[in-house]
Amino acid sequence: MGDAIAHEWVTARRGSERVFEQLAACHPEAELFALSARPDAGLRLGTGRTLTTTYLDRAPLRERRSVTLPLMPHAWSRMGRGRSFDRLIISHHAAAMQLARHVRAGQTMVYVHTPARYVWTPELDGRGSARLLDPLRYLMKRSDLRALPFVDRIAANSAEVAGRVSRFWDRESTIIHPPVDVDFFVPAASSAATRPIHDEPYVLGFSRFVRYKQLDVVIRVGEAAGVPVVLAGAGPDQARLSALASSSRVPVRIVVNPTDDELRALYRDALCMVYPGHEDFGIAPLEAQACGTPVVALARGGALETIRPGVSGFHVETFESGGLEELVTRCATLDPVACRQNALAFSEAEFRRKWCDWAAEGTHSEGAR
């Protein structure tokens, strides 16, 4: 019957999508499924492989996930009916785990990016915190809990997420950190592209432009340190960030939808990256470190696993206190080689090794199937 790999949705080659790519590389004969996939996402799944999607993969539904969220469990159920596989691998951060209930599989393994934040931890996200959404959150929690008996084994992308899997789902999980493309994200001296694209050092913030990412904090850090700021990304918070940039005491440049080449150049030229959110894991800080650039991050979540204080960056308990200028100054003294060395432990090759070893570990169930 073969294997199958299912992923939530494909919008661009970023965090969870790159995990999907690596899972596909580990299982080159597996059939591939997703709720939807943007045609211009540029996902690298292997020559000749097709990605089967659901009825949500059409305009305008493809771009309106907040509207289609209640339909996702149904879409997965329709996708799974009548299908059988030796092994089902699910890349989950919203509703993909529902597929486990509807596919006949010899073994089902789930890679959890996080139990859906807007369902289980809305206090960290904000997008699902409105009381009007309580009924939807209740239904999605029930859906997760109903799917869990059909899941044999769980891998979590960080200790933070493993803790949520234990707390919310009462299941054990194995930590397998997401992959970082350390062959592409390299210091400038390691490639032909050595010319800086900025005239002076700056602090960098990179993420989606949504409020809970707290990119306004990056501007405050730049103001405290008296250095320019670059914000890179895209999203609904762009207008607010642009207004804050125009009134900032330091120059702030906003780079919308940087290409991979542009992002690499931004990492390389930055004095440091500032990562102010409470994240499940966070691949961007490791991309910066792979380019030799240190990171200042909140001492919460995945940053506790990806940054070596005093070696590849610093943790702060809050960005509201003093001392930010000193931290930015100290970043300039850190060794770029040590920053990169820290990132190498999270390479794509290391992810594939850990995943393949874990996937090969017997066929006995760790769950209550």
Tens digit of each residue's pLDDT (9 = 90 or more) over 58-111: 988 898 888 898 899 999 999 999 999 999 999 999 999 999 999 999 999 999
Quick one: pLDDT band at residue 264, thresholds 50, 70, 90? very high
| Residue 284 vs residues 50, 74, 125, 147: alpha-carbon distances, Å | 28, 33, 18, 31
Using the structure block, give the residue that is written with the tokens 């999203």. Answer: 235
Quick one: pLDDT band at residue 196, thresholds 50, 70, 90? very low
Quick one: pLDDT band at residue 366, thresholds 50, 70, 90? very low
**Omega cis (within 30) before 60:** yes
Q: What is the pLDDT of residue 354?
A: 97
C-alpha to C-alpha distance for 72 and 69, rounded to whole angstroms: 5
| Residue 43 vs residues 19, 51, 346: alpha-carbon distances, Å | 11, 10, 20
Of the candidates 103, 94, 181, 194, the one whose C-alpha atom is nearest the C-alpha of residue 144 is 94
Burial 48-72 (b: 16+ CB within 10 A, else e): eeebebbebbeeebbeebeebbebb
CB within 8 Å of 5: residues ≥ 6 apart: 20, 23, 24, 27, 30, 31, 32, 33, 89, 90, 91
- Residues 8-42 have pLDDT tens digits of 999 888 889 999 999 999 999 999 999 999 988 88
C-alpha to C-alpha distance for 59 and 37, rounded to whole angstroms: 11
Structural domains of the chain sorted by starting position, each given as residue range(s) with its CATH number in brackets: 3-179+348-359 (3.40.50), 188-344 (3.40.50.2000)
Q: What is the pLDDT of residue 1?
A: 80
Three-state DSSP class for residue 181: coil
Q: What is the pLDDT of residue 365?
A: 43
Among 116-130, 135-149, 176-190, name the one with the lowest average pLDDT. Answer: 116-130
- Residues 217-226 have pLDDT tens digits of 999 999 999 9
Query: For residues 178 and 283, is the Cβ–Cβ distance under 8 A?
Result: yes
Quick one: pLDDT band at residue 200, thresholds 50, 70, 90? confident
Dihedral over Cα of 151, 156, 159, 164: its sign:
negative
- Residues 292-351 have pLDDT tens digits of 999 999 999 999 999 999 999 999 999 987 788 999 999 999 999 999 999 999 999 999
Q: What is the pLDDT of residue 128?
A: 62
Q: What is the pLDDT of residue 65?
A: 85
pTM over 0.85: yes
* Section 267-272 average pLDDT: 97
* Section 104-128 average pLDDT: 89
Q: What is the pLDDT of residue 129?
A: 64
Q: What is the pLDDT of residue 195?
A: 39
Residue 184 DSSP symbol: T
- Residues 215-258 have pLDDT tens digits of 999 999 999 999 999 999 999 999 999 999 999 999 999 999 99
Query: For residues 292 and 187, is the Cβ–Cβ distance under 8 A?
Result: yes
Query: 264 or 189: whose pLDDT is higher?
Result: 264
C-alpha to C-alpha distance for 7 and 54, rounded to whole angstroms: 11
Q: What is the pLDDT of residue 362?
A: 53
